[in-house]
Amino acid sequence: AQSVTQLDSHVSVSEGTPVLLRCNYSSSYSPSLFWYVQHPNKGLQLLLKYTSAATLVKGINGFEAEFKKSETSFHLTKPSAHMSDAAEYFCVVSSTGGFKTIFGAGTRLFVKA
Amino acid sequence: DGGITQSPKYLFRKEGQNVTLSCEQNLNHDAMYWYRQDPGQGLRLIYYSQIVNDFQKGDIAEGYSVSREKKESFPLTVTSAQKNPTAFYLCASSTPGQGTYQPQHFGDGTRLSIL
């Protein structure tokens, strides 16, 4: 069985400070893991993906995530937040064991000036 | 530019009415999906299709129907049997690749409300 838990429903940071969005997953098979971003009234845009290559994955807009198998985590980070980063972020798990993709409930990121 | 087009952007449904949401892609992807998004919740899968003329129910298929007559198109009908249709509907597509490694590409959604 697969599941994904985003540990914070809301995160608030000041512009220029680091961002940390936390995600834990559970999967019976070797998982693929993704982070997507959604701006209001828009579809989801892929930020980055992990597919069993390097454990530190770099994505677009300065975001990166580290796959930690021992902790079953895939946290999203960015060194310095920008106002345009304010959006909702989804952690997603998918596996080759079945045609199934599970979306986390989302974390809304607020960026203060 | 390749992408997914959903129309209309906003849709209103009257009591007892069926409405159809359009989803067209020019990415040459085999697989297409419909999701429902409610405030504060993640995406829930309604239907998916891995190939033309074939589709499977997702987690919340009741009250919805789909067709997949062309590779590019995957329309979703919200029937009168769906008693709580107010939501944001997202269409996505992907290439099957190795298992489910491939990320999904999303349209910009249709917001459906009840009149």
CB contact under 8 A, A43 and B50: no
Rounded Cα–Cα distance for residues B14 and B77 (Å): 14
* Cβ contacts from A onto B, under 8 A: 62
Q: In percent, how much of chain B has pLDDT > 90?
A: 73
pLDDT at A99 over 70: no
Q: Where residue B32 falls among pLDDT bands split at 50, 70, 90?
A: very high
A52 — pLDDT class (breaks 50, 70, 90): confident
Q: Which residues, in sequence order, are CB contacts of B78 under 8 Å at separation 6+?
A: B13, B18, B19, B20, B21, B63, B64, B85, B112
Give the per-residue pLDDT at B104.
87
Give the pLDDT score at A46. 94
**Does pLDDT of B101 surpass 70?**
no
pLDDT mean over A52-81: 93
d(CA A55, CA A24): 15
Mean pLDDT over all residues of chain A?
91
Which of B40, B43, B99 shows the shortest C-beta gap to A96? B99
Quick one: pLDDT at residue B97? Answer: 61
Chain A residues whose beta carbon lies within 8 Å of the beta carbon of residue B106 = 36, 43-45
d(CA B10, CA B76): 14
Cα→Cα distances A44→A48, A60, A107, Å: 12, 14, 13
Q: Residue A32's pLDDT band (boundaries 50, 70, 90)?
A: confident
